[in-house]
A and B are shown apart, each in its own frame.
Chain A
């Protein structure tokens, strides 16, 4: 009844082509942004930010990045963890080498460096496809982790090989280091997420996104109609790695504060982000959010219900958590192979007819 486009007239192409053409969607989006920027910062505490919001926001950026590569351009990548490590170590080197430069610039530069590394490891995609490409990116994952473990220059020769984020401020408010206010780190990460999501959304529905999707759907046909596979694939690798690099930089500098590469950016991180976009929905920005939320929130929720609520032993709860999350993933994918985004899409279609379906 409320969710429909009847009566919502568009009189210009700009109106017709906007991201949320349906008024209800648009208002929902504005309200969500308003709550996220204006209400949440006032109510969050340390626990909410560090256990729930920060991982969600940062994984969402990584998922958007990987979704561009896998979901939009069809290039399967298992190197996400390695590329996040590039972002983290870049921002660490930049933070310690140029302490006077703003952390915002460092994070963006870290994304840029990761984009360069991504393009380098994306070169094989011009020759190899599908599973074979996945194996090539897997090599990137292992190589990068090995590199950051092996070369002491990357961790400033510290005895333990750990990198720790020094305190940095934005407009006089600390966003990295130990003395951060929860609202500050939340807003800092949220800002990057919103900018990344808007950028990704507009890239994917522009000519660049169309080229990526043409390559994904059939690369030979795309080449025949004039899409240059070299630029299309490498631009997808660059943009994707840029986002993943930003996510890695925030993951280290804002969220964890200290990381060791093998533990924080190992192969399981690559799988985690890949699962996020598969569950959320390939080729969908909303899907990246939904997948990240699902895999970040569900374990925390289950833990709190089982241990905090029911008082079960922690080991039993941890094992059950694996089983429940695994079971839910299979259930969701059986019910809707195209992920949560498709579920949402179907719901919207139904809502538009509700309460008078044909």
Chain B
């Protein structure tokens, strides 16, 4: 009895690795836990785009895509388990959608030779591709986000922020702490006063932070939140009657799930984004035809066109384009992780390319290079209209303050290189 149990257990644990397939992409998703509300649409978008490619085009360059999904629950230990259990299956790129897990994977994936694409999250200084050969964070990173948020504030204040008070409400983790350095440097440059308000995981309790905001009356509040923290923060802001148009979230605090619970009160709330919103693109007709109507939509299929669904779709699109680039460079349809890395490093997204894919004007144009793994740092501001229940872009894509950010990236990546004993250079 005991023996059969042990045998069954061993067989069960061994059954982890799926069969080797043509092009394997992994999705370290989280559909459970306090961050599920945000994790589900992203994972759905990511999966649906690959399903679309398989159904419509027969995969990428003639090779079917095999998407392996693994549930992390936004938990780093489970993330490690997911990484180890999927890396043997020939995974081409990891997109963990968690800054904490990204930090874990940076050394591991570098040692294993598998690229990581932390799109708009993760370690900002991974932009320096000479130090972080295997890590990519194009098209924009947190410091870009912080800078663009301040740029937007400058715009609406006629270019002068001196004497203004800006509060940062942030998730008390590696993710939330990322923008602090940039905001501090920018505070010196533009003369605003910065207040830092940390919110502990998972962020359901924010009464004291918002009480402080009510007392100190900052002119603007910037938020670095995720999961349930966003909804609570926006509700609290409504409760203290904070003017919504002065409240700006990072791109991870700008989904429908975050604003809907606050109802009409959330009208006017702003969030950054590095891609366009809505479902008014040709690709969505294809998704309807090939994915939804055939019953192959991921999850419940009710997220299509939401902000985070679009971001998952965008992430999958960038991964697929990088794979295509790699296929063109190597001249073979099957690629491995090292060739995928090459494809990512030579990825160029142009308007013509996006229009071809049915996503005209969906995101900024950018070109990845060995020195610059982070794109050009363009982002726009979206605003929530509670009456119509839609996000809409209210600005053009703006570039972040490169003259401030470049030295910061240089400084942080050099520190990492020294600490880890890396000799910077292209591969």
Contact = CB atoms under 8 A, between A and B. Distances in A.
B172 A149 contact: yes
A72 to B, nearest CB: 28
Interface in A136-169: 149, 159-162, 164, 166-167
B69 A314 contact: yes
A300 B173 contact: no
Contacts of B81: 50-51, 300
Given A159-B181, A160-B178, A263-B201, A47 B84 contact: yes
A301 interface: yes
Q: Which of A255, A262, A309, A315 has most chain B Cβ within 10 Å?
A: A315
Given A47-B88, A318-B71, A178 B12 contact: no
A319 B13 contact: no
Contacts of A317: 71
A257 B104 contact: yes
A50 B172 contact: no
Contacts of A263: 75-76, 100, 173, 201
B104 A161 contact: no
A297 interface: yes
A308 B18 contact: yes
A178 to B, nearest CB: 3
A190 interface: no
A49 to B, nearest CB: 8
B107 A161 contact: no
Contact of B70 (A164, A177, A314): A314
Contact of B123 (A160, A167, A266): A160
B108 A178 contact: yes
B12 A256 contact: no
Nearest to A161: B177
B108 A314 contact: no
Nearest to B98: A263
Range for the number of chain B residues in contact with chain A: 35 or more
A343 interface: no
Interface in A242-280: 255-260, 262-264, 266
A55 interface: yes
A26 B124 CA distance: 55
Contacts of B402: none
Contacts of A319: 32
Interface string B163-176: 00000000011110
Contacts of B70: 307, 314
Contacts of B412: 159
A25 interface: no
B331 interface: no
Main secondary structure of the interface of A (DSSP, over half): helix
Given A46-B84, A47-B84, A258 B31 contact: no
User: Main SS of chain B's interface residues?
Assistant: helix
A178 B13 contact: no
Interface in B71-117: 71, 73, 75-77, 80-81, 84-85, 87-88, 99-100, 103-104, 106-108, 110-111
Nearest to B70: A314
Contacts of A301: 9, 12-13
Interface string A47-70: 100111001000000000000000
B16 interface: yes
B110 A164 contact: no
Interface in A273-328: 297, 300-301, 303-305, 307-309, 313-315, 317-319
A256 B104 contact: yes
B107 A177 contact: yes
Given A159-B178, A263-B100, A50 B84 contact: yes
A207 interface: no
A17 interface: no
Nearest to B173: A260
A163 to B, nearest CB: 10
Residue of A167, A177, A305, A308 with most chain B CB atoms under a 10 A cut-off: A308
A179 interface: yes
A258 B104 contact: yes
Nearest to B75: A263
A52 B13 contact: yes
A262 B199 CA distance: 11
A84 to B, nearest CB: 13
A167 B123 CA distance: 19
Contacts of A256: 76-77, 80, 104
B158 interface: no
B200 A262 contact: yes
A173 to B, nearest CB: 15
A256 B83 CA distance: 12
B80 A309 contact: no
B90 to A, nearest CB: 14
B421 A315 contact: no
A178 B107 contact: yes
Contacts of B13: 52, 297, 300-301, 304
Contacts of B174: 160-162, 260
Contact of A166 (B99, B172, B419): B419
Nearest to B198: A149
Contacts of A160: 99, 103, 123, 174-175, 177-178
Given A256-B80, A263-B201, A308-B16, A47 B85 contact: yes
Interface string B14-43: 111110000000000101100010001000
Nearest to A319: B32
A159 B180 contact: yes
A309 B15 contact: yes
Contact of B31 (A47, A50, A314): A314
B80 A314 contact: no
Contacts of B12: 301, 304-305, 308-309
Contacts of B427: none
28 contacts: A47-B16, A47-B85, A47-B88, A50-B80, A149-B172, A159-B177, A160-B103, A160-B123, A160-B174, A160-B175, A160-B177, A161-B174, A167-B420, A178-B108, A178-B110, A262-B201, A264-B76, A266-B201, A301-B9, A301-B13, A304-B16, A305-B15, A308-B12, A308-B18, A314-B69, A315-B40, A315-B71, A318-B31
Interface of A: 46-47, 50-52, 55, 149, 159-162, 164, 166-167, 177-179, 255-260, 262-264, 266, 297, 300-301, 303-305, 307-309, 313-315, 317-319
Given A256-B104, A260-B174, 13 more contacts: A164-B103, A178-B107, A178-B110, A178-B111, A255-B80, A256-B80, A257-B104, A262-B173, A264-B76, A309-B12, A314-B69, A314-B70, A315-B40
Interface of B: 9, 12-18, 29, 31-32, 36, 40, 69-71, 73, 75-77, 80-81, 84-85, 87-88, 99-100, 103-104, 106-108, 110-111, 123-124, 172-175, 177-178, 180-181, 198, 200-201, 299, 412, 419-421
The 6 closest A-B pairs by CB, nearest first: A178-B107, A315-B31, A160-B174, A314-B71, A178-B111, A51-B81
